[in-house]
């Protein structure tokens, strides 16, 4: 195994409501038995990063940003089985850190470890994340490019949106709807386009979610929240992305020192797709040469 450095660059939240600071941080050394140490190739920006930066998530600072990272395993904990993970494996890492593995959520049929009541932390939110070298209108066209079969512009108005959805679902409405908008009336529209006894999943995080009582009582709409995904759901998601060749437009920035430019673009409202930082260009180069591209 190559000798690991003692220090690394990290983009951290040092103080709430101030820009991220790029500074030296220690490379994680004392791995827990089930830990993986990942040399980060790419890390991305999410709406949650802004919530952390604003102090909404109860984060203890300093905290390395980003809960979305991918890279290669460079060290493993003492009980990690090589049949599961080994040095050199390409991995996608998420937000969870040390769910207990024994509670009803972890052991349930769906293995919803993201709801573990005894979890140690959330990477990039309550503990260091992936904006480091190592870690533990155009929208409509973009949606079409991503593989959506039918795209409807909600700016045509609530009633017209419902009418259009009914047209393409034989008058039934959608069996399930995912609401990703913070707009005050978005949840009402999500419920209205959902078929009777259907399900609406709320992913957006506004202060209040308003649901018309008629949708709940007279149409028996089921409303659920969703906190990221379980490892099994993540695997199924990647299979769907691969099988259906789902593409995502990316806005790559080279190096952690470009985080301010990435955030400026994200806040401008002009960013198409996902904003990412390439932390290790050498890994990206090897991926391109292999034909299995990360970026």
Q: What is the mean pLDDT of residues 135-147?
A: 68
Share of residues in the chain with pLDDT > 90 (%): 47
DSSP string, 37-76: EEEEEEEE--HHHHHHHTTTT-PPSSEE--S-EEEEEEEE
Looking from the CA of 64 toward its CB, the CA atoms found within 13 Å total 27
116: confidence class by pLDDT, cuts 50, 70, 90:
confident
Residue 185 included in any domain = yes
Residue 267 included in any domain = yes
Residue range(s) defining the domain that contains residue 203: 147-225
Say whether both 54 and 77 belong to one domain.
yes
Is residue 294 pLDDT above 80, yes or no?
no
144: confidence class by pLDDT, cuts 50, 70, 90:
confident
Is residue 229 pLDDT above 90, yes or no?
no
Q: Which pLDDT score, from 0 to 100, does residue 179 have?
A: 94
Residue 236 included in any domain = no
Residue 1 included in any domain = no
Residue 45 included in any domain = yes
CA separation for the pair 116, 280 (Å, rounded):
32
Q: Which pLDDT score, from 0 to 100, does residue 228 have?
A: 83
Is residue 1 pLDDT above 60, yes or no?
no
Say whether both 109 and 192 belong to one domain.
no
Residue among 283, 254, 251, 281 nearest 268 (CA): 251
Q: Which pLDDT score, from 0 to 100, does residue 135 have?
A: 79
Question: Residues 80-104: pLDDT tens digits?
Answer: 988 889 999 998 888 888 888 888 8
Pairing, β 7-13 against β 21-26: antiparallel
Q: Which pLDDT score, from 0 to 100, does residue 220 have?
A: 94
Number of domains forming the structure of the chain: 2
Is residue 137 pLDDT above 60, yes or no?
no
Say whether both 90 and 217 belong to one domain.
no
CA separation for the pair 161, 115 (Å, rounded):
34
Question: Residues 32-75: pLDDT tens digits?
Answer: 888 999 999 999 998 889 999 999 888 999 999 999 999 999 99
Say whether both 189 and 278 belong to one domain.
no
Q: Which pLDDT score, from 0 to 100, does residue 136 have?
A: 67
Q: What is the mean pLDDT of residues 235-243?
A: 88
Say whether both 157 and 263 belong to one domain.
no
Write down the mean pLDDT value for the chain.
88
């Amino acid at each position: 195994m190559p000798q690991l450095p003692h220090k690394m660059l990290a983009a951290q939240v040092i103080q709430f409501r101030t820009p991220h600071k790029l500074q030296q941080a220690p490379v994680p050394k004392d791995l827990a038995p089930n830990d993986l140490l990942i040399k980060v190739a790419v890390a991305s920006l999410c709406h949650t990063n802004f919530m952390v930066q604003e102090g909404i998530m109860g984060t203890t600072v300093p905290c390395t940003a980003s809960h979305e990272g991918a890279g290669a395993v460079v060290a493993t904990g003492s009980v990690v089985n090589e049949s599961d993970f080994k040095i050199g494996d390409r991995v996608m890492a998420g937000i969870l850190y040390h769910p207990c593995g024994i509670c009803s959520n972890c052991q349930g049929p769906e293995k919803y470890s993201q709801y573990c009541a005894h979890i140690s932390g959330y990477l990039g939110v309550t503990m260091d994340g992936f904006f480091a070298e190592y870690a533990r209108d155009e929208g409509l066209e973009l949606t079409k490019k991503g593989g959506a079969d039918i795209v409807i512009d909600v700016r045509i108005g609530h009633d017209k949106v419902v009418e259009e959805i009914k047209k393409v679902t034989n008058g039934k409405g959608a069996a399930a709807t995912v609401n990703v908008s913070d707009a005050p009336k978005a949840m009402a529209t999500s419920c209205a386009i959902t078929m009777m006894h259907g399900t609406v999943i709320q992913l957006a995080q506004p202060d209040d979610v308003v649901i018309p009582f008629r949708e709940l009582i007279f149409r028996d709409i089921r409303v659920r929240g969703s906190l990221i995904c379980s490892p099994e759901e993540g695997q199924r998601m990647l299979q769907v992305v691969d099988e259906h060749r789902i593409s995502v437009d990316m806005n790559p920035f080279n190096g952690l020192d470009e985080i301010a430019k990435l955030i400026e673009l994200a806040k401008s409202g002009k960013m198409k797709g996902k904003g990412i930082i390439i932390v290790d260009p050498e890994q990206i180069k090897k991926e391109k040469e292999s034909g299995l591209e990360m970026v």
